[in-house]
Amino acid sequence: MWAFEKETMGKGYSAIAGIDEAGRGPLAGPVVSAAVILPDSFDIPGITDSKKLTPKKRDNLYIKIHESVIAVGIGIIEPVEIDRINILQASLQSMAIAVQNLNPQPDFLLIDGTFQIPSDLPQRPIIKGDSLSISIAAASIVAKVTRDRIMVQYHETYPQYNFARHKGYPTKAHKEAIQKFGCCPIHRKTFKGVKEFFN
């Protein structure tokens, strides 16, 4: 899991940030990105793609990551902006914001996916990076837990959709709730499964 970090360090970089996002697929809520800079001494077992972990395991690792990292940055793009610029651009923007929120700033970026982000920093997109890079995997956990907690908070405001359970993803129950109650302000009105019911 350290191969990409070690290769990048070998080129003279020292503050390498891993970046990933959570929430491209949901019908509601923001897209959330995290950027993390790990110390060379980082040695927490179980770090991998957040989608492969149980919620309890993610929460435990989230705490351990925060206790160990050099820096964590979060970037959030809300549904109204997702609808305005599209989900891909919103994801890339949220990643860029996460990087801007790092202190100290990194000198190289490892990014999950196929696209570079809007940043002047040298960067490398890595397909399936959340399974191949320790830094990206840690970022994926931070992004996922951060977004899930936001959706649990939204559940308090809009309990009829049960966001605490499905986190805004297009589950059968979520789709049925949209059909029954219509849409709320955090639904993405350009997304299929929402736009048909937006009123």
Q: Is residue 103 part of a domain?
A: yes
Return the pLDDT at 160. 97
Instruction: Quote the tokens at residue 89.
Output: 């651009």
The share of the chain scoring above pLDDT 90, in percent, equals 95
Q: For the segment 142-174, what is each residue's pLDDT rounded down to a tens digit?
A: 999 999 999 999 999 999 999 999 999 999 999
Strand 71-77 versus strand 108-112 pairing type: unpaired
Q: Is residue 106 part of a domain?
A: yes
The CB density around residue 95, as the number of other CB atoms within 10 Å, is: 33
pLDDT over 70 (residue 199): no
pLDDT over 80 (residue 136): yes
pLDDT band at 52 (very low <50, low <70, confident <90, very high): very high
Mean pLDDT of 182-195: 95
Measured between alpha carbons, how far is 52 from 46 in angstroms, rounded to an integer? Answer: 10
Provide the domain limits for residue 65. 3-158
35 neighbors 99 (Cβ within 8 angstroms): yes
- Collect all residues with Cβ–Cβ distance below 8 Å to 177 and sequence separation of at least 6: 160, 161, 162
Q: For the segment 76-119, what is each residue's pLDDT rounded down to a tens digit?
A: 999 999 999 999 999 999 999 999 999 999 999 999 999 999 99
Q: Is residue 166 part of a domain?
A: no
pLDDT band at 191 (very low <50, low <70, confident <90, very high): very high
Instruction: Quote the tokens at residue 53.
Output: 């972990």
- Collect all residues with Cβ–Cβ distance below 8 Å to 166 and sequence separation of at least 6: 173, 174
Tally of domains within the chain: 1
The structure's pTM equals 0.96
Q: Is residue 133 part of a domain?
A: yes
pLDDT over 90 (residue 197): no
- Which CATH number is 57's domain given? 3.30.420.10
Q: Is residue 182 part of a domain?
A: no
Return the pLDDT at 165. 96
Q: Is residue 52 part of a domain?
A: yes
Q: Is residue 42 part of a domain?
A: yes
Return the pLDDT at 192. 93
